[in-house]
Structure formats: C-alpha cells, structure tokens
C-alpha cells in the first residue's frame, strides 16, 4: 500500500510555489505595450466655481457680462406744448439719465454732505452728488413707454469697453499729475562787470 507524501517529506518547494501563486493572484499584469503607439495624455478638468462665488460678479456686470443702466423721464413736464415733441424730449432726457447711471457705475459717485446741528437739534442736512467721466460704446437696448406718461431707456456697456474707459481715465490722471510740477525757484545772481582801463604809454 502506497502512502501519500507529506509536506515535510517534500520539503519547502511546494510552499514556495503556493506562496508564489498567491502573490501573483493579487497583482495585475499590464498588457504589453504596442510598438509605435503614442501614450494617451492625461486630461484634468478645471475646477468649476461655485454659484456663490459668481454671485457678486453677476450683480455688478450682469448675467451676460455687461454693465446695464436705466434712465427715466416724464413726458408731461417737458417744456413744450406739442405732444410728439414732448415724447422725443422725454426719450432724450431718459437716455441722458441712463448715461449718467452708466458713468456712476464706471467711475464712481462723489458725494458731499453737510449737516448743521444747533441746540442739540438737527437744523439742516444736505447732500450733493457729482459724477464726471467719458462714456463711449454704449449700446441702446430698449426704449419703453410706461403708463403713457414716462419713458424708460436701457443702455449697456461690454466689459471690454469698460476696461478701455478705465485705462483711458488712468492715463489722463497720470498725464495731469505729470503736468503739475512744483516750480523750482532760481536765484538771480547779480552780474559783475569788470572795467579795464587802457594802458597809457609815455
């Protein structure tokens, strides 16, 4: 009767074979590279900003990336008795009002306030606003009558035009600063004249 060999009688060879099989089962062997094939580039998608991060920009430049401004004018207060002329003048006034609102968004608004207090009581409180600047490249979006007595005009500026306006404003400010220079006082030195007498020969 034949007896089966034990692990002790076989030695350490079967154990090494078993461990090798277990080690190979946990590994993934990549397929052989094909000659002449180009490696695939790794594409990393850029991170998308959250809607909360875009919200402040949208409130300033609008959903389409433009600055928009609206102006209003009343038809009945125009200084004429002709109804068609009143409408044309109201449209013109509303357009100028929209241009002023655009200038406020591009250049900012200068506000001066003055308050007077007497006997611990507020006597007067006045405000004065001023805006100054150049606007070009504005697009007329709409002219809309409201309730037959008011006109609404909407203008818009693209971001490219806004950048051009800001660069032009910065250049003008730098030019004005370069022109205004302190005068250098020059000391006036008195002229010294030396008179020479001709020599008299005897």
Give the domain extent around 136.
59-178
Residue 197: its H or E element = none
Residue 183 falls within a domain, yes or no?
Answer: no
Residue 154 falls within a domain, yes or no?
Answer: yes
Does residue 5 contact residue 14 with C-beta atoms inside 8 Å? no
Residue 133 falls within a domain, yes or no?
Answer: yes
Residue 111 falls within a domain, yes or no?
Answer: yes
Residue 150 falls within a domain, yes or no?
Answer: yes
Cα→Cα distances 202→28, 197, 199, Å: 129, 16, 10
> pLDDT of 15-71, one tens digit each?
444 444 444 444 444 455 555 555 555 555 544 544 443 433 334 455 567 889 999
Residue 159 falls within a domain, yes or no?
Answer: yes
The one-digit pLDDT tens for each residue of the chain (202 residues) are 545 455 455 455 544 444 444 444 444 444 555 555 555 555 555 445 444 434 333 344 555 678 899 999 999 999 999 999 999 999 999 999 999 999 999 988 888 999 999 888 988 999 899 888 889 999 999 999 998 899 999 999 998 888 888 888 888 888 888 876 655 545 555 566 666 666 666 5
DSSP string, 25-57: HT--PPPPPPTTPPPPPP--PPPPPPHHHHHHH
Phi-psi region of 148 (alpha: psi -120 to 50; beta: other; left: phi over 0): left
Structural domains of the chain, count: 1
Average pLDDT along the chain: 74
Residue 71 falls within a domain, yes or no?
Answer: yes
Residue 76 falls within a domain, yes or no?
Answer: yes
Residues above pLDDT 90, as percent of the chain: 32
């Amino acid at each position: 009767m034949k007896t089966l060999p034990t692990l002790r009688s076989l030695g350490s060879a079967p154990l090494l074979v078993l461990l090798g099989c277990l080690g190979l089962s946990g590994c993934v062997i990549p397929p052989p590279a094909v000659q002449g094939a180009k490696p695939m580039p790794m594409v990393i998608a850029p991170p998308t900003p959250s809607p909360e991060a875009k919200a402040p920009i949208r409130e300033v430049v609008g959903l389409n990336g433009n600055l928009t401004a609206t102006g209003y004018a009343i038809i009945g207060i125009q200084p004429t008795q002709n109804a068609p002329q009143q409408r044309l003048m109201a449209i013109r006034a509303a357009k100028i009002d929209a241009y002023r609102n655009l200038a406020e968004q591009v250049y900012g608004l200068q506000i001066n306030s003055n308050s007077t207090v007497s006997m611990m009581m507020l006597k007067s409180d006045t405000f004065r606003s001023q805006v100054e600047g150049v606007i070009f490249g504005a697009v007329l979006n709409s002219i809309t009558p409201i309730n037959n007595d008011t006109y609404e005009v909407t203008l818009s500026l693209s971001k490219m035009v806004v950048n051009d306006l800001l660069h032009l404003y910065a250049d003008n400010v730098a030019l004005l600063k370069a022109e205004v220079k302190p005068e250098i006082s020059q000391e006036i030195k008195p002229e010294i004249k030396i008179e020479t007498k001709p020599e008299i020969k005897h």
